[in-house]
Amino acid sequence: MSLAARNDFGISDVVGMDAVAFRRMVREGGYSGSTAAVAPGNVQANLAILSAEEASDFLRFCVRNPKPCPIVGMSEPGDPRIPELGEDLDIRTDIPRYRLWRDGELVDEPTDIKALWKNDSVAFALGCSFSFEEALLQADVPIRHIEKGTNVSMWRTNIQCAPAGKFHGPMVVSMRPMTPADAIRAIQITGRMPNVHGAPVHFGDPAAIGIADITKPDYGDPVEIRPGEVPVFWACGVTPQSVVQAAKLSLCITHAPGSMLVTDARNGRMEG
**pLDDT mean over 239-253:** 90
Query: Residue 157 in 3-state DSSP?
Result: strand
Q: Are strands 230-235 and 170-178 parallel, antiparallel or unpaired?
A: antiparallel
Domain 4-96+111-128+251-270 identical in fold to domain 131-240: no
Superfamily of domain 4-96+111-128+251-270 in CATH is PSTPO5379-like (3.40.1640.10)
- Considering the entire predicted model, what is its pTM? 0.88
pLDDT of 161 over the 60 cut? yes
For CA atoms 112, 114, 115, 121, give the dihedral sign. Answer: positive
pLDDT at 272: 53
Long-range own/partner contacts, residues 4-10 (CB < 8 A, 24 or more apart)? 5/29, 6/30, 6/31, 6/32, 6/96, 6/111, 7/31, 7/32, 7/33, 9/33
Sorted by where each begins, the domain ranges of the chain are 4-96+111-128+251-270, 131-240
Number of H helices, E strands in the chain: 7, 11
Alpha-carbon separation of residue 30 from 6, 27, 91, 173, 238 (angstroms): 5, 7, 16, 32, 26
pLDDT at 3: 37
Confidence of residue 35 (pLDDT cuts 50, 70, 90): confident
pLDDT at 116: 97
pLDDT at 6: 43
For 197-231, write each residue's pLDDT tens digit: 999 999 999 999 999 999 999 988 999 999 999 99
pLDDT at 241: 83
**pLDDT mean over 176-186:** 97
Alpha-carbon separation of residue 23 from 59, 117, 158, 205 (angstroms): 26, 18, 37, 41
The rounded distance, in Å, linking the Cα atoms of 257 and 272 is 26
Is-contact 254 108, C-beta < 8 A? no
**Nearest 10 degrees: Cα torsion 103, 255, 154, 104:** 0
Confidence of residue 155 (pLDDT cuts 50, 70, 90): very high
The candidate with the shortest Cα–Cα distance to 163, out of 246, 102, 229, 95, is: 246
Is-contact 194 140, C-beta < 8 A? no
For 49-62, write each residue's pLDDT tens digit: 999 999 999 999 99
pLDDT of 7 over the 60 cut? no
pLDDT of 2 over the 60 cut? no
pLDDT at 5: 41
Alpha-carbon separation of residue 99 from 4, 122, 168 (angstroms): 16, 16, 20
pLDDT of 4 over the 50 cut? no
Task: Name, in order, each residue with C-beta under 8 angstroms of 200's C-beta and a sequence gap of 6 or more.
Answer: 183, 186, 187, 190, 232, 233, 234
Q: Are strands 71-74 and 261-266 parallel, antiparallel or unpaired?
A: unpaired
pLDDT at 8: 56
Q: What number does CATH give the domain 131-240?
A: 3.30.2040.10
pLDDT of 138 over the 80 cut? yes
pLDDT at 227: 97
Question: What are the backbone dihedrals phi and psi of residue 38, each rounded to the nearest 5 degrees, phi first?
Answer: -90, 145
